[in-house]
Homo-oligomer: A and B are copies of this chain.
Amino acid sequence: MASVFDSTTAVNPRGGGRYDAVLDPGWVVGGGVNGGYLLAVIGNALRAEMPDKPDPLAISAYYLAASVPGPAQVQVDVRRSGGTVSVASAELSQGGEARIAALATYGDLDRGADDVQTTALPFDLPPLEQCVPNTMAPEEVRRIAPLMGRFDMRFHPEHVGWALGAPTGVAEMAAWFRLEDGREPDPISLLLVVDALPPVTFNTKGIGWAPTLELTAHVRAKPAPGWLRVRHVSRNVAGGMFEEDCEVWDAEDRLVAQSRQLARLPR
């Protein structure tokens, strides 16, 4: 059976670096389409334009305006086509209006894949069966976040105060994660995963939209099949903004992606 993730992030080449996509209403959250989903769409266009460099190593997205379900275009311009890495810019637009500007470095994660020295330790997350499934999210949250239905998430039981009307006061959220359609993770789906959890401000400021200004993700290894573990933390609120750091660990205890975003505090 075709993967919902794959079919809704697919891009059609139109020549000259232009790709067409159809943004799917199933990925809506708050006032627009989820930023991580858009990053995966852009990631697919970039990969198609740089076929000899299959994997996103680093990608930065600057959000210009909210995107909505429906047709979208991604324009890719390769800026450097190198020996081991290539760099490209990309712009996602709808109706002729730019929505996201991005830059990315692509390469091959199979190169040097055995050279790993990770001193970071996996974060605390109780076994799957002790965690809280997203199907238990309050109706209020599922209504503003249809995309939750695309995920199988199991939240750290100590981080779900936001869903019970009792925010923890701590800007941290961790969960087990897999796609609801059963598709195994890969470097492109990790671009979605780094922006899939509710914002940590649910636990400090209450439930509300926290629009991303900028998000940069580094994909550091190909994830093993199975459940991922994802954690977001924030340590610095200032000037009406907060940073959100994300780590993604795979089923083989490997730190496969790191990201940071700068977002506006909910109003």
Interface residues of A (CB under 8 A from B): 57-58, 60, 62, 64-65, 79-80, 85, 87, 89, 98, 101-105, 107, 109, 111-113, 115-120, 171, 204, 213-214, 216, 218, 220-221, 235-241, 243, 255, 258, 260, 262, 265
Contact = CB atoms under 8 A, between A and B. Distances in A.
A111 B58 contact: no
A236 B265 CA distance: 29
Nearest to A205: B117
A238 B252 CA distance: 15
B58 A213 contact: yes
Counting chain B CB atoms within 10 Å of each CB, the highest count among A60, A98, A113 belongs to A60
B221 A239 contact: yes
A95 B49 CA distance: 26
A62 to B, nearest CB: 5
A90 to B, nearest CB: 11
Contacts of A258: 236, 243, 260
A80 B58 contact: no
Nearest to A108: B239
A164 to B, nearest CB: 22
Contact of A116 (B65, B103, B238, B255): B238
A79 B101 contact: yes
A65 B80 CA distance: 9
A237 B116 contact: yes
23 contacts: A57-B239, A57-B262, A58-B214, A58-B262, A60-B103, A62-B103, A62-B105, A64-B87, A79-B101, A105-B213, A105-B262, A111-B239, A111-B240, A112-B238, A112-B241, A116-B238, A116-B239, A117-B204, A117-B237, A118-B236, A119-B171, A120-B235, A235-B255
B98 A79 contact: yes
Contacts of A171: 119
A118 B213 contact: no
Contacts of A240: 111-112, 115
